[in-house]
Amino acid sequence: MIGNLTTQWFQQEVEVIDERQIVNSVSKTVTLDYIPSSTRPLAVKYNGLVLTEVNSNPTIYQYVADRDNGVLYFNDNMSNKTIIANYVGIGRWCIGADKIYTNVDNKGDVLETLHELLQKNIEIIDSVKTVGDGATPIRIGLDDIPEDVQNGYTFFQATLKKIITFYNGKWYCNGEEVNLG
């Protein structure tokens, strides 16, 4: 594990053909989709020209491969250029959802992670499934909707088989405005 990353090693090798990547203009690097095998060929092309792998200080049409991390390093001249890589992948870097921050305050304190956000949404989806798939769904006739509806008022309309929410004077279902009249 490096930092927040862990490696998922494959049981079988993955042959990667024509993976297109753009060389980062700042770092002059490309991070491959997979971790390449250290014992199998790694071919990198630019405009049909096969580039040469070197151990350090790449010049034009050369690159350095950090096969342990799946990173290719290029010369400044390759900035923003599209390369094509062919190789055999043996693993992939993964980052846990608890390490991805979706909300941070101005002090740098983490307020919410992707894992927490996913958990909240799973709870909402499960409650929707319970309402929608339950033995006795909440049944509300369109004539029974209160007149003093506030933003966020939500109900399951059994006839339409939809969850409907009121917001800013309009009714919505799945993000699209609906007419209940």
What local confidence, expressed as pLDDT, does residue 104 receive? 85
Top-level class of domain 5-95: mainly beta
C-beta separation of 87 from 36 below 8 A: yes
Name beta bridge partners: 93: 7
Domain ranges of the chain: 5-95, 97-135, 137-175
Phi/psi for 2 (5° steps) reads -115, 115
| Whether the model pTM is above 0.85 | no
Q: Alpha carbon 34 to chain centroid distance?
A: 16
What local confidence, expressed as pLDDT, does residue 131 receive? 46
Residues 108-167 pLDDT 10s: 888 888 888 777 766 555 555 444 444 333 445 666 677 777 766 676 665 566 777 777
Give me the long-range contacts of 50-58 (CB less than 8 A, separation at least 24): 51/83
Mean pLDDT of 68-73: 92
The better pLDDT of the pair 12, 56 is held by 56
Residues 18-68 pLDDT 10s: 999 999 999 999 999 999 999 999 999 999 999 999 999 999 999 999 998
Token pair belonging to 23 = 């060389």
What local confidence, expressed as pLDDT, does residue 138 receive? 44
pLDDT grade, residue 94 (50/70/90)? Answer: confident
